[in-house]
Structure formats: structure tokens, C-alpha cells
Structure 1
Amino acid sequence: MYTEALNTYQVIVKNKMFSQAGRLKVNMANIYLKQKNYSKAIKYYRMALDQIPGAHKEMRIKIMQNIGVSFIKTGQYTDAITSFEHIMSESPNLNAGYNLILCYFAIGDRDKMKKAFQKLIAAPLGIDDEDKYFSLGDDPHSNLVIEAIKNDSLHQMEQERKALAEKYIMTAAKLIAPVIEHSFDVGNDWCVEAVKTSQYVELANDLEINKAITYLRQKNFTQAVETLKMFEKKDSRVKSAAATNLSFLYFLENENTQADLYADLAVTSDRYNPLALTNKGNAVFITGDYEKAAEYFKEALRNDSSCTEALYNLGLTYKKSNRLEEALDCFLKLHAILRNSAQVLSQIASLYELLEDPNQAIEWLMQLISIAPTDSQALAKLGELYDTEGDKTQAFQYYCESYRYFPSNIEVIQWLGAYYIDTQFCEKAIKYFERAALIQPTQVKWQLMVASCYRRSGNYQKSLEKYKDIHRKFPENVECLRFLVRLCTDIGLKEVQEYATKLKKAERMKELKEQRVRSGRDSSARSRRDGREGSASSDSGQSSGTSSKGDRLSAKLKTLPGVNDPYEASSNKDLDASYTDPLGPQVERPKTAAKRRVEEEEFADEELGEDLLPE
């Protein structure tokens, strides 16, 4: 109830008898800051600053810090810098130092960024030496005291403060490294050197690893590998982190031997590193030893139950081993951690499908498309499942959506074309088969389907043109020629004789090819048998094989049209012009009228009795 609070504060502040009005103005400024009324917040903070005496140094520093934050919110970085610089000169702290770096970064002042970074790493933490938590003698009393304070609230607070300082320094270094020098490498090296001379020496290694990760993001794999290899002789924690990154890098580049080697090094350096164990599991998984891979993934999860990579890979391992129930259990656990992960939802749906529970598979796929509505594969899978269940309407809807987002999936195109043919809307199927012909121009079947659709919809002229176009592109296609002969015959065109001749020639060429393939197989089998005989029999076999080959060739030439054949061979007197429609048999229309006519005729054939004749 900010308005009521402000009104109440105003009444108290106006009372001249109240000497602590300055402190209340801080509260009023805080309310204005929450309401995003930054100008009023700054005004009241400054009024409070004027009324609070210099003896209260810590409170004045906090108010100035809030003034600086308010200026950042309004984009007045120069005024914010003035506040933070005053704080860093009077009473340096982590928050003010970090905000000062952000302000210098915003205005692009390189030199000031460097100076602010040095001030940040020099800011006092207010933490005593860690040695007080370690026993130095055999005094049982002191040992008991050390055990008592090892994990008390004060020590936890110190740990949190140290972790926050490291976070600020790492983030600031990542931010300024690319801009303080002419290149990222030099900038990062300057940050590393600055950190090495401070109380945060351990962070230097983390900055080096961050340098390698930045190289990875820039796709500079060679530099990344070189940087990570520098850590092979460092202490175990850093060595394990570097080896883990190297292992995964080699794994992505399909260098599985190197990936396995560095995974072993990472695990040896730090047996409790879950990511190192996950990489080792990946390396074993590639070799096909799924049981051993599962053990590594389980060990990673024992060390860190929130390691989602290990849990996901364990699920994949069980799936590969056909332990579908256990795989499903892994992915359901993962779904509880990663609620909106499309990959996890996809795996769960896939497992339910493998477990022959299509309803559950559909339900999980529906969740998936609510997160990724443009995923064409998920939409196509939904269409497939509904089609299996017999719900053609829903299947058609999802196949259409899949086609809309990815119009190059041949299976989806084929299903939609077949759907329109089943529902006797052949002219609508043409669009899909034309798209398929565009994607696979060397496949004649799609073009034949287009022509067949034109013929079924009654557009014989278009159908004929399409068949002629197919014949120009695929002159040896027998099916196309059969359709052309049949269409020309039905329409009564003169080209029927020409296409009939070409059809006969194409059929004979097809037979020749089949004979050649068969004879090739026979001769290769015969040569293998003859190879086991002596050299003399081999020579005689070769000469007889040559003569028989010559006989076969002359026999084939005699069967070609125009060779020892009279001219009437070109006629279609005994020509086989039968064809099989690529779209299947046409659905017969209901013959209601014909049935009624038959019934009338049967009634007319009956003899009428004399009692029914008119008198």
C-alpha cells in the first residue's frame, strides 16, 4: 500500500519535533524506487543525505549507492559514476565496484574500465584467514572448537560473500576482456595478470578456462584445444575441468579415442566430477557397451542428482538397450526438472509409441507442440498416430500443419496426395505430387501420378500433355508409353502408331536389360566355378564363353524391331497396352440408377393374372 505509506511518512516528516526525519526520507525514496519513479527517488535520497550527519558513514555510503543505482536506471551514467567513484574512494565494496565497471562499459571508457577492475579486486572482503578452520595441534579441545565452527552460520556467510565476490570478478572480466584491448586474447590476458596479483589467485585458472570456452563459441577449436591443454599440469580441480571440456570437444569432432583419453584424465583428476563421468559414459556408449555406459551415468547422478545431461543420456542408453520402462522412468524424472524441454517431451512420446500406447504418445506430443508449435516432425508424427488410430480428419489437420511449416517432407506430401485421391478430389492432389516431383526430379513416379490425377479428374488434354512431357524426359519409361498408347487410342489421335512402336521397342529393350543382368550373374557364377579348374580348362572355357556370348548377342539383335522383321511389327495388333495406375484402382461410384432400372425391367417381365386385368 505504497500511497498510504507515503502519506503517513509525509505527516511524520512535517512534524518539526521529530529529529530522525532524514531516515524516513530514505524509506520514501525506496518506495519511489519500487514504483520506478526514479527522479523522485533521487530527490528524496539526496534530501536524506543532507539530513544524516557525517558520523553515520555507513548509512551515507548505502544512500549514495542507491542514488547511483537510480541514475543507472535513468541512463545517466556520468552521474552514477560520480556516486560510485566517491564510494570506492571512501569505503570500497564489491557492489559499488561492479556497478562502476558497468557504467564505464556503458560509456566505453577503456582506461577507466581497467582502473575500476583493479579497484574491484582490491575491495576488502572482510573475511578472516581460512587457516582458523584447520587444526594445527593435538589439543582435543581446540579440535572440538574447530569442528563446531567449521559449518556454522558465520562461516556460511563468509563463504557466500566469497562466492559473490568471485561471481562479480568473473562476470566483470568476461564483460571487459573483449573491449579493453584490440583483441579478446590480449584483454583476457590482462585480466588474468591483474587477478594473479590479488587475493583471488584461484580465479586466474577459471578465467583461462573461460578463454577456451570463448574460443569454442567463436568456432576456433584449435585455439580452444591449445588453451585447455595448458592445464594438464595444474592442480586436480582445474585439470579435471579442462580435461572435461577437451573430452567433450573431441567427442563433438568424432575423435572418440581422444575423447575417451581425456575423459579418463578428468575422472582420474576428480572422481566426483559428474560432467567428467558423463563424458566417460558417452565415450563408452559410442563403443556399444551400453551396460558400462549406464554405470558411468548412474555414478554421475550419485555425485550430483541434478546433472540433467547424465540423466538424459542414461535414458537414451536404456532406450538403446530396449529397456523401455526404465528409459521412460528417466525421462519422466527429467521432465519434472526441465518442464519445458522439447527434447524430453519428444523422447517420452517416442517411448510411449514404442510401448504401444498411442493415446499417451499423442498426449505428450500435444504438450510438445504447445511448446514448439512450428516443429514439423512432431506435427507429422501426430498425423501418423491419428492415422494409425483411424481418425483421418485429425491426421489430415496435423499433416497439413506439418506441410505448412516444412513443405519438403516427401512422406507428408505422399500422405496428403493419397488422402485427396481417397476422398476423390484428384485435382487437389496434383499440387502435392507436383511438389514431390520438384523435390525429386529424377523420380518418374511423381510425374506419372500428376498425369494420372489429371486423367481421373477428366482433364484428358492436360493428362496427355503431361504424359508427353514425361516421355520427353524419360523416353525409355514403359509405363508412360502404355498410358500414351491408351489415351491416344481413347481420344482417337494419329500418334497412337508412333507411341505403339516406341512402346514395343522400350519393352524389348527392358527385356534385353533383364537378360543381360541374368546372363551377367550366370557368367560370374560360372567364372567362379571355372576358376577352381586348371589353366588349360580355363583357356578352353574362355573361348567357349566368348563364342556363346557372340551367339547370344546375334540372337538379341534378331529380336530388335527392324532387324529381319516385316513392317507390320510396328502395328499395335498384338501389342500389350495394359497398364497399372500408379494411384491404384479408381473407386467405383454407386450404381443406384442402374439398380432401379433392373428392378423395373424384372417387374415388367412378370405375367399379370386375369384378376388384375381391367374389366
Structure 2
Amino acid sequence: MEHVHLAAEEDDLYSGYNDYNPTFDSEELDNDAGFQQAVRTSHGRRPPVSVITDGAARPMTAVRAAGYSSAMTRGSTFDPLGQSKGPAPPLEGKSEDTPDEKVKILEKKVNDLIEESCLAHGHGDLQLSLDRAKEAGRKERALVRQREQSGNADHINLDLTYSVLFNLATQYANNDMYAEALNTYQVIVKNKMFSNAGRLKVNMANIHFKQKNYPKAIKLYRMALDQISNSHKEMRIKIMQNIGVVFIRMGQYSDAITSFEHIMSESPNIKTGFNLILCYYAIGDRERMKKAFQKLICVPLGIDEEDNHPHYKALAEKFIMTSAKLIAPAIEATFAAGFDWCVDMVKSSQYVELANDLEINKAITYLRQRDFKQAVETLKTFEKKDSRVKSAAATNLSFLYFLEKDYDQADRYADLAMTADRYNPAALINKGNTVFVKKDYEKAAEFYKEALRNDSSCTEALYNLGLTYKRLGRLEESLDCFLKLHAILRNSAQVMWQLANLFEMLEDPHQAIEWLMQLITVTPTDPQVLAKLGELYDSEGDKSQAFQYYQESFRYFPSNIDVIEWLGAYYIDTQFCEKAIQYFERATLIQPTQVKWQLMVASCYRRSGNYQKALETYKDIHRKFPENIECLRFLVRLCTDMGMKEVQDYATKLKKVEKMKEIREQRVKSAREGSARGTRREGSASSGDSHGTSAKGERLSAKMRALPGSNEPYEASSQRDIDASYVDPLGAPMERPKTAAKKRNEDDDFADEELGDDLLPE
């Protein structure tokens, strides 16, 4: 089989002999009479290029020899060894060295470069496009010089010169090289040999418009208008539109109106009609706004004479809707009356189906004005309309009632919307939402899935489905929803937050941190995101990174108690109590009735060695909270150590308050005899001054922070514990890491022997 295959290949190889190009057969050139004759010609002993390119006289081959007529080659024999005695036929072929051939080759190169330039622009490579345009310009100038040298200057190809210059100017403009583009256009415009070059003043005016040189743009648009005959009506209209737009940019609305009114009388179109309404709105002319709106809705539909837009009717409807929303509040005493006038006009026009959309828009405008009642009343008028409008109105009503937390009504209108149009994804989402709030998550998921089947790009349904799976504990499926959503909404902060939260729930803090890092590139000043990053880094044991993000969070929102608490604890933990003071002082401003923050401030002063300031702070706390036992104990201790006379007063007050507390505790214990809570309190009371009481007091302090306003009595530390922590203030910071570590394990960063919530005055 292999042998047969090779033989076949050999047959194929020789069967195409006549197709062989002899140009590359260098071995036989010495014996080729035609070639030898060519090298002996007068062209500097160099064969003409055409001879080498197309081959010498080879009548046996499929390639016809250049420079020979059929009469010459017909009947001649193939004589590779040069044995023929007859003279070689003369060469008559055109050479590339002849002036005409050089001109043709150059012209082809120029055209090829222009084509390459245009193709590069089409592919978006603007720099390559400009390079090819410049090269075409250089080749074209060489071509002109070639013609001049050969005495054919009168036969210059004007069309080619125009194409080169026009393309070069266009590519300069595309590369924002406006000065070069204008200079190139000027060369064309000034040359009288180019017919209709005056039209290019429009291109020049466009460049001046981009440069915001509006007076120059108008001047050039008008010059172009003067050079275009009335027979070119479409082009004249477009130029007048441009003039009107420039006048709008200049704020000269009356001049713009003149231009637009002329167009609407000569060749009315949707865009100009819309611009005219904008101008009347800008000058506040109520009546002319109405007339312009009537003209706008009377513009005949059909082929768009401006740009043959395939969705011309949709564009017209968009302009009419926008115009109505704009002028409705301005043409009558109230926006509702204005909307009604617009609706009446539209009902009697070719856009009659737009009337319903306008009325729904009226309801939405009411909603924006926070007039919920009017919005609902307007939407309820659609209950007897055709199915599409009814479904749209019912969908809006369902959404409004859902926002108002009237879930029964929301459910009713969601059903109505679905009955009118079962394939309305918004109606299905609303229905799913009403089921979701009733915690029937499985059923809600079905409605969201159906919405996605009807519209796969419905991001609301995908988001809600992700939330539903999250509530059901199907975290992997929820993650899949939000990852798909992220592919659609790349910069959605909510989606990234959900992804981070899901990874945290899946116990993958590293991925959670990655998503939060992406999130802060979108919302770099979101304090909640920064605080969450701090929390995750803290849980990973990276205190320095946690501190950085908590501090950033505090900088943007200095009122988050959790963040303040963490930062204060961080400074206490790192033995910089004086730096913690500013955070706890901030906490006292936010929660002035919470005594624990003020006790923290006093504690920081005491631990940093500033006893005088600590004493003043405790006195201030005592004035505000005269029954706070913790505060009185420290006042007694500080006054004793500082040898102050007030010590006896504070000691008396302390005994009195402790007695009152004991009586209250007895009452509570008696009232709840036998209960678990009463048992705990009884156990606490019996433990006296032991360290166990102190530890329990700390845990209760944590609960008090978690449940502010709780009536549970506060178990204070014993006097012996206070003395132990206060004997040597300079030594206290050395104990802090151990104490803080203990409190962190108990999920209680701040409660220590002198801190926490005491029984507040009644």
C-alpha cells in the first residue's frame, strides 16, 4: 500500500510540469538563449526585470513569456542546450525601468497603502492607520516628481492626490491631531483643481466643534452651506442641524431656535423636533413648548432621512416620552395637568399606544415626589386596560405595596400582573419576594427560576435566587448565583459583598478577604467594608493589618461603637493607654448614658499614671451616676492614696449605695425564688469576695454590653481585686497582655476589674 501511494505521489509530481514556473530554475540559465541575449542588451548588462519575473521565451510552459507575441512563440522549438543556429528573437517587452511602468507601480503602491490605512482604522489600530496614511503621502509626492521628470506633469492623477490627502486628514483627526488634520484639509480646500472640496469645510467645522471653538465651527458650517446647492437638500439640513447644536452649546437659544424652526418647516425630523423643544424649555416659553410637542408627534414615520436608523420608531417614542416628562411640569400649573395634556395629544396621534406608557410614567413621577397615594391611584386606573399595560401597572403596584410592607396587597397585585402576562419577569420576581418574606424559600426560588427562564439577563431574579439559597443554607448554589451575577455586573458592590460573606460562611477567610479587597477598589470609603476587613484580619491573627483597616473605617465613620471599642482595646493591649482615651471619649459622646465608656476613660488615665485627671474623671462620673459602686470604690481608693479629706464622704456614700444594692438584690431574689436566674444571683452573692466572683462579674459585663438597658444587676469586682490591680500603677501595664488575652478568649475585650456596667440610678 505504501509503494502504490508513493508512486501516485510521483505521478502527481510530474503531471503538473506545464504549471511549473521556470523563474526559479537557476541551473539552466547558462544554456538559456533568451536569458543570454537579455544580459547582452543595452540596459547596463542587466536583464529587464520583466524578463526575470515572467521567464524567457518558453513556449512549452504554461506561462507565457513577457515581451513576445503569440506569432513569435508559435512554432519555435524548445532548445535548452542552445543548439539552434537561428538568431534569438528580439526583446520587445515593457520594462519596469520605463517611466510609465514606474508610475504605474508607484500608483499601485499608493492605493495599497490607502487601503491598508483604512483597514487598520477599521480594526481599531489608529496609529498604524496614520502611519500608512503618511507613507501613502510620501509615495504620492514621489509619484508627482516621477511624472515631472518624465515630462508628464499634465497627467497628474488628481483623484489619487485627493484620496491621499483626505485619508491623511481623516487619520490625523482620528488620532486627535487636530492641528495637522486642519492643515491637511486646508491644502485640499485651497486647491481650485479639486471640485466640491468646499464640502470638506464641514469636516473642519466638526474638528473646531470638538475643540470647543464654537464661533469658528459656525463660520465654517455656514461657508460649507454657501457652497452646497439647494439640490442637495439632505446635506444642507444636516449642516443646519449642526449649526443649531453649536448655538445650544454657546447658550444662544434664540439663534438655535431659528435654525431648528427652519428645518422643521422644510424637512421635519424627530431629532430636530426634540432639540427645538429643549430650546423652548431653556427659555421658558410655555406656549411654544406645546406647539413644538404637537409638531414632534406629527413628524411622519417611515425611512429616517437622517441616518436610516433601523429602529426609527423606537427612537421617536423615546424622544416623545423624554419630551413629555420634561415639559409636563412646565406647561401647566401642576405636573399632573401637564402630563394629562401630553397624554391627550399623544392619544390623537400616530403614537396612540404611547399614551398608556406616559400615564404609567406619570405614576412613577408621583412616586419620585413621594406622593404614594397619587401613584397608587394612577396605577389602579389600568386594571381594565389591555394585558400588557395591566401587567405593567400591577407590577408597579405590587412593588409599591411591598415597599410599604403591605405584603398581602403586594401579593394580590403580583398575582394580577402574572395573570395578565405570565411571562413578565418583573411580576414573577415580585411574587417571589412576597413568598420570600413569608419564609417559604423553596417556593420563592421557583418563581425566581421561572423569571430567569423568561429572561436570562434578569439580574434581580439571579440576585434574589442567590439570597434564597443562602437562607436555605445551600451556600454552594448561592455562591454559583453570585459568581454568575459578578460576570454580568463586574462592579456591583452588593454582589462582591455577598460573595465575601458567603466565603466567610464557608470558612474560607482568605477568599472572603480577596473579595473585600476587590470591593474596596469600587467603594474605597465604605466604613462597613473596611471594618469587616479588620475583623477578618483580626480573626486570622494579623493585628497590624486589622488595626490599619479598623483605623481607616474609623476615619470615614467615627461613630461605629464596635470599631471604637476594638481600637481602644488595641491600644490597651499594646500598653498605650493614653492613646485609647480619645476613642473611649468618642464613645461617651455617642452613648452618654452608658457609664462603662466613662469608666474606661478614667481607667486609662489611672493606668497611664495621670492620677489627678483620673480623680477628676471619677468625680465627674459620680456627679452623673451617683449610685455607681465601681466609681465610688475608685474615688475612695484614690482619695486615700492621695491623702484627701473627701475620702470619708465617699466611703460613707459607698456603704450606703452597697446597702441599697444588697436590699434590691434580696428583693429580686425573693421575687424569683427557684428560678435559674435567681439561683445564679444567689450563687454570686454567696461567693463573696473571691476571684470567681470577679471573673463572673467580667462575663456579666460582656452581656451588659451586648444587651444595653438590661435590668440584670451588675456583679462588681471585690475591693481586694481593685487593690491588687492598683497597688503599683507602673506595674499594671505589664499585667495587661495576660488580662487582655483572657478577655479575648471570653469574647470580652474591655471588662476588667475596674470596668463594666454598674447598676444605673433609678
TM-score range, shorter chain: 0.7 to 0.9
1:337-380 CA deviation, whole Å, 9 max, x = no partner?
22222222221111111111112212221222222222111111
Percent of matched pairs sharing the same residue: 78
* Aligned equivalent of 1:606: none
Partner residue in 2 for 1:577: 719
Are residues 579 and 437 of structure 1, via their aligned partners in 2, closer, same or farther at CA, if it must alter by over 3 Å? farther
1:34, distance to aligned residue in structure 2 (A):
4.0
Contact preservation (8 Å) 2:397, 2:410: yes
**One-letter amino acid matched to 1:356:** E
Q: Is the 8 A contact 2:607 2:733 kept in 1?
A: no
Shift of 1:580: 4.9
Deviations 1:178-234 (A, max 9, x none): 111121111111110110110000000111011000000000000000000000000
CA–CA distance in 2 between the matches of 1:583 and 1:375? Answer: 40
Q: Please, which of 585, 605, 608 is the counterpart of residue 454 of structure 1?
A: 605
Q: Quick check: 1:376–1:405 contact (8 Å CA) kept in 2? A: yes
Indicate which of 249, 263, 271 corresponds to 1:87.
263
1:276 maps to 2:427: yes
Alpha-carbon distance change, 226 to 412 in structure 1, aligned in 2, over 3 angstroms: same
Residue 399 of structure 1 aligns to a residue in which SS?
helix
- Residues 583 and 222 (structure 1), Cα distance of their counterparts in 2 relative to 1, 3 Å cut: farther
For structure 2, the 5+ residue unaligned runs are 1-171, 174-178, 677-717, 737-762
- Give secondary structure in 2 for the equivalent of 1:83: helix
- 2:268 aligned counterpart, secondary structure: coil
Structure 1 residues 228 and 487, CA, compared in 2 at 3 Å: closer, same or farther?
A: same
Residue aligning to 1:495 = 646
Residues 219 and 491 of structure 1: is their aligned pair in 2 closer, same or farther, counting only changes over 3 Å? same
Sort the Cα spacing of 1:453 and 1:582 in 2 relative to 1 into closer, same or farther, 3 A.
farther
Question: Given the superposition, is the C-alpha separation of residues 457 and 166 from structure 1 closer, same or farther in structure 2, using an over 3 Å criterion?
Answer: same
| Alignment of structure 1 residues 383-532 onto 2, 5 Å | 383-522=534-673
Q: Distance in 2 between matches of 1:490 and 1:259?
A: 69
Match of 1:578, as an amino acid? R
Gaps of 5+ in 1: 129-156, 526-575, 591-615
Give the Å deviation of 1:113. Answer: 0.9
Aligned equivalent of 1:588, options 726, 734, 738: 734
Tell me which amino acid in the other structure corresponds to 1:173: A
Change (3 A) 1:583 1:437: farther
* Distance across 2 between alignment mates of 1:418 and 1:383: 14
Contact 1:380 1:399 (C-alpha < 8 Å) held by counterparts: yes
Return closer, same or farther for 1:44/1:475 CA change in 2, 3 Å cut-off: closer
Q: Deviations over 1:86-107 (max 9, x none)?
A: 1111111111111111111122
Residue 249 of structure 2: aligned partner: 73
Q: What's 1:137 paired with? A: none
Match of 1:10 in 2: 186
**Does the 8 Å CA contact 1:427/1:453 hold for their aligned counterparts?**
yes
5 Å-filtered alignment, 1:149-298, equals 160-298=311-449
Q: Is the 8 A contact 1:452 1:583 kept in 2?
A: no
Q: Distance in 1 between matches of 2:719 and 2:203?
A: 97
Change (3 A) 1:578 1:500: farther
Label 1:200 to 1:123 Cα distance change in 2 as closer, same or farther (>3 A): same
CA drift of 1:579 comes to 4.1
- 3-state SS of 2:553 partner: helix
How many Å apart are 1:515 and its aligned residue? 1.4
Aligned residue type for 2:226 = D
User: 2:231 — aligned with what?
Assistant: 55
Instruction: Sort the Cα spacing of 1:12 and 1:127 in 2 relative to 1 into closer, same or farther, 3 A.
Output: closer
C-alpha change, 1:511 and 1:4, in structure 2 (3 Å) is: closer
Q: d(CA) in 2 for partners of 1:581 and 1:127?
A: 95
Asked whether the 8 Å contact 1:25–1:45 carries over to 2, the reply is: yes
**Aligned residue runs from structure 1 range 372-387, under 5 A:** 372-387=523-538
Counterpart Cα distance in 1 of 2:387 and 2:428: 15
Counterparts of 2:604 and 2:371 in 1: how far apart (Å)? Answer: 54
How far apart are 1:258 and its partner, in Å? 0.4
CA drift at 1:577: 3.0
Residue 580 to residue 347, structure 1, CA distance change in 2 (3 Å): farther
Other structure's SS at 2:215 match = helix
TM-score when scaled to structure 2? 0.64
Instruction: Give the Cα–Cα distance (whole angstroms) in 1 for the partners of residues 576 and 359 of structure 2.
Output: 66
Q: Is the 8 A contact 1:216 1:224 kept in 2?
A: yes
Find the aligned partners of 1:208 and 1:583 in 2 and give their Cα distance: 74
Q: Is the 2:444–2:468 Cα contact (8 Å) retained in structure 1?
A: yes
Give the CA RMSD over aligned residues.
2.6
CA, structure 1 residues 469+340, in 2 after alignment: closer, same or farther (shift >3 Å)?
A: same
Aligned to 2:213: 37
Residue 60 of structure 1 aligns to a residue whose secondary structure is: helix
Q: Contact between 2:398 and 2:430, CA under 8 Å: does it hold in 1? A: yes
Query: Is residue 2:260 matched to residue 1:118?
Result: no
Question: In structure 2, how many angstroms separate the alpha carbons of the residues matched to 1:330 and 1:307?
Answer: 12
Name the amino acid aligned to 2:734: E
For the 8 Å contact 1:448–1:582, the answer to whether it is kept is no
Aligned to 1:308: 459
Residue type of the alignment partner of 1:295: E
AA matched with 2:278: L
Taking the aligned partners of 1:161 and 1:582, their CA distance within structure 2 comes to 87
Q: How does 1:344-355 map to 2 (within 5 A)?
A: 344-355=495-506
Distance, in Å, in 2 between the alignment partners of 1:462 and 1:34 is 67
Larger radius of gyration: 2
Distance 1:350 1:108 in 2: 52
Shift of residue 415 of structure 1? 1.0
1:102 paired to 2:278: yes
Moved more, 169-178 or 58-67: 58-67
Aligned residues: 513
Q: Which amino acid aligns with 2:277?
A: I
How far has the Cα of 1:19 moved from its partner?
4.0
**Equivalents in 2 of 1:442, 1:12: separation in Å?**
83
TM superposition shift of 1:35: 4.2
Q: Shift in Å at residue 59 of structure 1?
A: 2.4
Deviations 1:301-355 (A, max 9, x none): 1212222211111111111111112212222222222222222222111111111
Decide which moves more: 217-226 or 292-301: 292-301
2:375 partner amino acid: A
Q: 1:483 deviation in Å?
A: 2.0
* Deviation digits for residues 416-440 of structure 1 (CA, Å, limit 9, x no counterpart): 1111111111122122222222222
Distance 1:10 1:583 in 2: 90
CA contact (8 A) 2:537 2:545 kept: yes
Q: What is the Cα deviation at residue 514 of structure 1?
A: 1.5
TM-superposed CA distance for 1:484, in Å, is: 2.4
Q: Contact 1:452 / 1:581 at 8 angstroms: preserved in 2?
A: no
Q: Could you tell me which residue of structure 1 aligns to residue 115 of structure 2?
A: none
Residue 483 of structure 1 contacts residue 579 of structure 1 at CA under 8 Å; is this kept in 2?
A: no
SS at match of 2:381: helix
CA offset at residue 257 of structure 1? Answer: 0.3
Is the Cα contact below 8 Å between 1:318 and 1:326 reproduced in 2? Answer: yes
Matched, 1:340 2:504: no
Report the Cα offset of residue 127 of structure 1: 6.3
